[in-house]
Amino acid sequence: MLNEVQSPGAADHAEDHAPGEHVRVAIVGSGFSGLAMGAALRDAGIEDFAILERADDLGGTWRDNTYPGCACDVPSLLYSYSFAQNPGWSRSFSPQPEIWAYLREFAERRGLVARIRFGHEVLRSAWDEDESRWRVETAGGTLTADVLVSATGGLSEPSVPALAGLESFTGPTFHSARWDHDHDLAGERVAVIGTGASAIQFVPQIQPRAAQVHLFQRTAPWVVPRRDRALSDLEHRLYARVPWLQSAMRGAIFWGRETFALGLMHPRIMRAQQRLVIGHLHRQVPDPALRAKLTPDYVMGCKRILVSDDYYPSLRRDNVEVVTDGIAEVRPRSILTTDGTEREVDAIIFGTGFQVTEMPAARRIVGRDGRSLGEVWDGSARAYKGSAVAGFPNLFLLTGPNTGSGHNSIVFFIESQVRYVMGALRAMDERGAGVVEVRPEAQAAYNREIDARMPGTVWSAGGCRSWYLDRTGRNSTLWPGFSYPFRRRTRRFDPERYTLRARRPAVAREAVGA
């Protein structure tokens, strides 16, 4: 049961649109951001929308990541909608099935499920200048939309490295975000590649079942204590009866985490905190040789800071080997490392992350001049307030460029952006505008400001190479600094930074044969 804030009657009916129809708003994706957008539209009385979802269920990353041990590393009181709090979280860091169930319950209660077109992977969306609308081709049919909201998430396309000889491997291989639950790892020799946020969660889970785990580590992560705990019955009852208390706790967690931004912006502060964190490694890994392998050689926060209490202990087990030599080649039943060692393995699991800065989805959105977002960005994404891109009228991005957070909850950014997009829709209504497009100079100035704040941060000066940086070396993923200024800056839609104009008149469209 969620404690929700919503407009009366918003959940009471649902409408569906047959493929080929026109909708006012098409939302792509039904994860945290797509569902928040749908709920906001309904709250505003806008019923003319559809949510396009490629899979056969909703939930985005929380549907796709089902690997053993998958849980959120941001506390659940914060990693949830502020307007639909769940007093029943079982733990401070809730496991994936619970977060997925939360999203499903939210979608049900808000009457969003009937709005989702499952199996509608978007193949291409192109702006039709004559009609002033988006033409969206999906695996389930084509529709047109006045406004397109891309809510596809940054962590949706798995990245699997092109290792030499990988195709020759005869055993099973799978990525953490596409876990093969039909394959039993019991008694097997398992190679795990990668030591990021996902791997540190599933390695302790598979270690007791596998005969041997070879963990291929390219860069040692910084790992801080998790201190997860079960929430008590008393907490559940209090949160259910006194929702403001849960909001207050949420606020306390938010502001507590905001302080981490100081270290991210000023590596000197982070270095001081590192000394405390290294104690966690010393306490959990007494063996100096293993500890040396696990000691990061860059400033904490340069890559995502990981939280775990069971990762290091699992690496101390006899059946786990941390391999720090690079992978030279994969052979039919083994992996050869650059030092010439060959390890026989039965299965390979990739915990190698996602295609964040080169999202395939960006190649499928084609703007006014016929070029895709991917082409325009050319490996380095830029938007205005992470939400709008010049040359792409009536397109809004959720979790767009520079809206990620190294220290706080992405849901905070999502809610900020949804509010901003709703402001844009209102401005269009108020001004009778059918088309809204950010001014290129506003976008350029905004990105100059963001870029100017990056040098000297831990991501630029921390001595590592992370997925936060794109192929040009620019940090195009994270919001630099405290999170609350992003909320302040997106609180109000700023029409002066946009061109708002009427749709081309129907007569004119007919005259040109449209």
Residues that bind ligand NAP (CB under 6 A): 71-74, 155, 161, 176, 193-199, 216, 218-219, 303-304, 351-354, 467
Q: Which is nearer to ligand NAP, 176 or 399 (CB)?
A: 176
> Within 10 Å of residue 90's Cβ, how many Cβ atoms?
14
For strand 334-337 and strand 133-138, is the pairing parallel, antiparallel, or unpaired?
unpaired
- Nearest-angstrom CA–CA distance, 155 and 201: 16
Q: Where are the beta strands (DSSP E) in 159-230?
A: 173-175, 189-193, 212-216, 223-224
- Nearest-angstrom CA–CA distance, 123 and 52: 11
**Least distance CB 193 / ligand NAP (angstroms):** 5
**Least distance CB 222 / ligand NAP (angstroms):** 11
**Least distance CB 123 / ligand NAP (angstroms):** 26
Q: Which is nearer to ligand NAP, 90 or 219 (CB)?
A: 219
8 A C-beta contact, residue 218 and residue 353: no
- Nearest-angstrom CA–CA distance, 312 and 203: 10
> Within 10 Å of residue 1's Cβ, how many Cβ atoms?
9
What is the three-class DSSP state of 214? strand
- Nearest-angstrom CA–CA distance, 261 and 284: 27
**Least distance CB 167 / ligand NAP (angstroms):** 15
Q: Which is nearer to ligand NAP, 468 or 498 (CB)?
A: 468
Q: Provide the token pair at 121.
A: 């992977």
8 A C-beta contact, residue 335 and residue 344: no
Kindly give the interhelix angle for 410-431 and 32-43, rounded to the nearest 10 degrees.
40
Q: Provide the token pair at 172.
A: 């099973």
Q: Which is nearer to ligand NAP, 216 or 239 (CB)?
A: 216
Q: Which is nearer to ligand NAP, 305 or 454 (CB)?
A: 305
Contacts with 186 (C-beta within 8 Å, 6 or more apart), sequence order: 209, 210
Q: Which is nearer to ligand NAP, 82 or 324 (CB)?
A: 324
Q: Which is nearer to ligand NAP, 132 or 195 (CB)?
A: 195
**Least distance CB 483 / ligand NAP (angstroms):** 15
**Least distance CB 457 / ligand NAP (angstroms):** 17
What is the rounded radius of gyration, in angstroms, for the C-alpha atoms of the chain?
24
Q: Which is nearer to ligand NAP, 127 or 202 (CB)?
A: 202
Q: Which is nearer to ligand NAP, 71 or 113 (CB)?
A: 71
**Least distance CB 351 / ligand NAP (angstroms):** 5
Q: What is the phi/psi pair of residue 450, to 5°?
A: -60, -45
Q: Which is nearer to ligand NAP, 178 or 491 (CB)?
A: 178
Closest residue to bound ligand NAP by CB: 196
First to last CA, the chain: 50
**Least distance CB 175 / ligand NAP (angstroms):** 9
**Least distance CB 398 / ligand NAP (angstroms):** 16
**Least distance CB 197 / ligand NAP (angstroms):** 3
- Nearest-angstrom CA–CA distance, 442 and 491: 17
Q: Provide the token pair at 362.
A: 């960006």
Q: Which is nearer to ligand NAP, 238 or 328 (CB)?
A: 328
8 A C-beta contact, residue 382 and residue 389: yes
Q: Which is nearer to ligand NAP, 173 or 176 (CB)?
A: 176
* Rama region for 119: left / alpha / beta (φ>0; ψ in -120 to 50; rest): left
Look at the block and give the residue holding tokens 């906001």: 40
**Least distance CB 96 / ligand NAP (angstroms):** 9
What residues pair up with 347 in beta bridges, in sequence order?
190
CA distances from 344 to 189, 330, 334, 338 (A): 7, 10, 4, 15
**Least distance CB 176 / ligand NAP (angstroms):** 6
DSSP secondary-structure letter at 480? -
What residues pair up with 320 in beta bridges, in sequence order?
213
